[in-house]
Amino acid sequence: MQIILSIACGGAIGAVSRYMVSTFIQNITSTSFPYGMLVCNIIGSMVLGILYDNLSKATLFSDNVKLFIQVGILGSFTTFSAFSLESFLMFEKGDYSSAIIFIILSVVLSILGLVSGIYFYRVLF
C-alpha cells in the first residue's frame, strides 16, 4: 500500500506540473501546435536521464522514493496518453504535417533528452 501511495502522490505532483508547464508554454507560443506537451516530454525525459543512474543503482533511496519520482512524478509529467491524444487531434483536424512533425520531434527529442541527461549526470558525478 505504501508503494501505491508513493506513486499516487508523485503522480499528483507530476500531473499538476505538466498542466502548469504545458499551459504556460502554450500561452506564450499562441499556436495550436502542442509545444507545451513537447516541452514537457523533453524536460521529463532529460530529468529522468539525469536521475536514472543515481536512482536505479544507489542504495541511498528506498524503492518508494524511486517509484515516487520515476513512475509518479515523471511518469505523469510526461504522459504518453496526452501525446497520443494531441497527435490524434491533429490528424483528425487534417493537420497531417504538424502531426507527423510533432510525433517525430516528441520521440527523437525525448530520447535525446534522456540520453543527454544520463551523460550529463555521469560527467558531473
Q: pLDDT tens-digit profile of 3-30?
A: 999 999 999 999 999 999 999 999 999 8
Are the CB atoms for 26 and 34 separated by under 8 Å?
yes
Q: Is the overall model pTM greater than 0.85, yes or no?
A: no
Could you list the residue range(s) of the whole structural domain that residue 117 is in?
Answer: 2-124
Give how many domains the chain has, as a whole number. Answer: 1
CA 121 to chain centre: 18
Q: Is the pLDDT of residue 33 over 80?
A: yes
**Stronger pLDDT, 32 or 54, i.e. the higher one:** 32
User: Does residue 60 have a pLDDT over 90?
Assistant: no
What is the arithmetic mean of pLDDT over 48-77?
85
Distance CA 43, CA 41 (A): 6
**Residue 50: what pLDDT?**
86
Q: What is the pLDDT of residue 54?
A: 76
